[in-house]
Amino acid sequence: MSQPITAVYPGSFDPATNGHLDIIERAAGTFDRLLVAVGRNSSKNVLFTPEERIATLRECVTSLPNVEVTSFDGLLVNFVREQGSHVIVRGLRAVSDFEFEFQIALANRQMAPDIETYFLMTSAEYLYLSSSIVKEIARLGGDISALAPEPVQRALKTRFLREGALSS
Ligand code: ADP
């Protein structure tokens, strides 16, 4: 019998969108176990702490029994190996993602030739969906119900109400 395959889906998830969730669901249907890994050392200017992002993501994946959410810092390839995995999953939207993802995948392959990066093409309806767009619409009081899962909608509302960006 072949060994069960654990895949790692790393990202900022600041916050998770329906595009991320679509990749999670599809990867969970392909691999035996999926670890969604929130990066702690992102150079991006983030809204939510890693703990907040993990907690919200966990609420989003409760119906997917083979998905776990955790965080990592340091080199992704080291983390992937520590998890007994050799599979990285990334999502691809437009051509604009390609250049960046290609660079990272090649750098990772140079460091760890035994680890393979699998790209899942976005579903058409999420082509233009990003965490930044979701945050911006939510901050301005727009409707994000078609763009982000319910726990994320709640987390954004709470955050922007607290910051006074929205009126209750
Ligand atoms: P990172 O900072 O590592 O790029 P993100 O949270 O922005 O983290 O993205 C994580 C992964 O999810 C990336 O591979 C990104 O291309 C992918 N992704 C983000 N939004 C979508 C989407 N709407 N459809 C498909 N993949 C997506």
Question: Could you tell me the CATH number of the domain that includes residue 84?
Answer: 3.40.50.620
Is 140 contained in some domain? no
Q: 4 CA distance to ligand 1 centroid (A)? A: 25
Is 157 contained in some domain? no
Is 110 contained in some domain? yes
Is 33 contained in some domain? yes
Is 118 contained in some domain? yes
> Is 0.75 topped by the overall pTM?
yes
Is 117 contained in some domain? yes
Q: How many domains does the chain have?
A: 1
**Contact (Cβ atoms closer than 8 angstroms) between residue 71 and residue 46:** no
Per-residue pLDDT of the chain (168 residues; tens, 9 = 90+): 688 999 999 999 999 999 999 999 999 999 999 999 999 987 788 999 999 999 999 999 999 999 999 999 999 999 999 999 999 999 999 877 899 999 999 999 999 999 999 999 999 999 999 999 999 999 999 999 999 999 999 999 999 998 887 766
Q: Is the distance from the beta carbon of residue 20 to the nearest atom of ligand 1 less than 6 Å? A: yes
Range of the domain at 23: 6-128
